[in-house]
Homo-oligomer: A and B are copies of this chain.
Amino acid sequence: MSSIAHLTRRYYFSASHRLHNEALGEEENRRVYGKCNNPFGHGHNYALEVTVGGAVDPATGMVVNLADLDRVVGEEILERFDHANLNACRESFASRVPTSENLCQEIFRLLDDRWGREPALGNARLERVRIEETSANAFEYGPRSDN
């Protein structure tokens, strides 16, 4: 058997957004986004799951130390998006609508950028980012999601 194991860690953040694409007209925006196009925005409690995989370290019995993973996700994602208005996060959503599909890809990109600069994450590989927007809607992005 392979010695690769996978761990998924769950985080929460609350944010607001408005789904609106300025390149589309007002009517088209209302048609595409429905009440999510409401001009004052609305919000969600997002649940974020980050999945990493790698060989289990024989000394520690761990794939990655959760304290290191929490530090990286905290600094890159939670500080940026928790209690934020996503439309106002210009580095991430200046030219893209803050749908959960785009948020998922952006979170993967932010973590993936950080990964190479973070020796504590060792040989663990970032496999998947999953966002639950509500209990009825979940979005996934990453190499493991594409199998």
Spell out A's residues near B (CB within 8 Å). 1-12, 14-17, 19, 21, 23-24, 32-36, 38, 40-45, 53, 56, 58-63, 65-67, 82-85, 88, 96-102, 104-105, 108-109, 112, 134-141, 143-147
Asked if B5 contacts A141 (CB within 8 A), the reply is: yes
- Quote the shortest CB–CB distance from A73 to chain B (angstroms): 12
Closest 6 CB pairs of A and B: A43-B43, A40-B85, A16-B16, A61-B99, A16-B43, A61-B97
Whether the pair A36, B83 counts as a contact (CB closer than 8 A) is: yes
A84–B38 contact, CB under 8 A? yes
Tell me how far the C-beta of A94 lies from the nearest C-beta in chain B, rounded to whole angstroms.
13
Query: Nearest chain-B residue to A66 (Cβ)?
Result: B137
Within 8 Å CB of A98, what residues of B? 61
Is A40's CB under 8 angstroms from B88's CB? yes
Q: Are B61 and A8 in contact (CB under 8 A)?
A: no
**Which of chain B's residues has its CB closest to A136's CB?**
B10
CB atoms of A42 and B84 under 8 A apart: yes
Please, could you name 23 A-B residue pairs with CB atoms under 8 Å apart, sorted by A? A1-B109, A4-B145, A4-B146, A5-B139, A7-B100, A7-B139, A8-B137, A10-B137, A14-B44, A14-B134, A15-B43, A16-B42, A21-B60, A32-B62, A33-B60, A35-B83, A41-B85, A43-B44, A43-B45, A58-B96, A61-B97, A61-B99, A144-B147
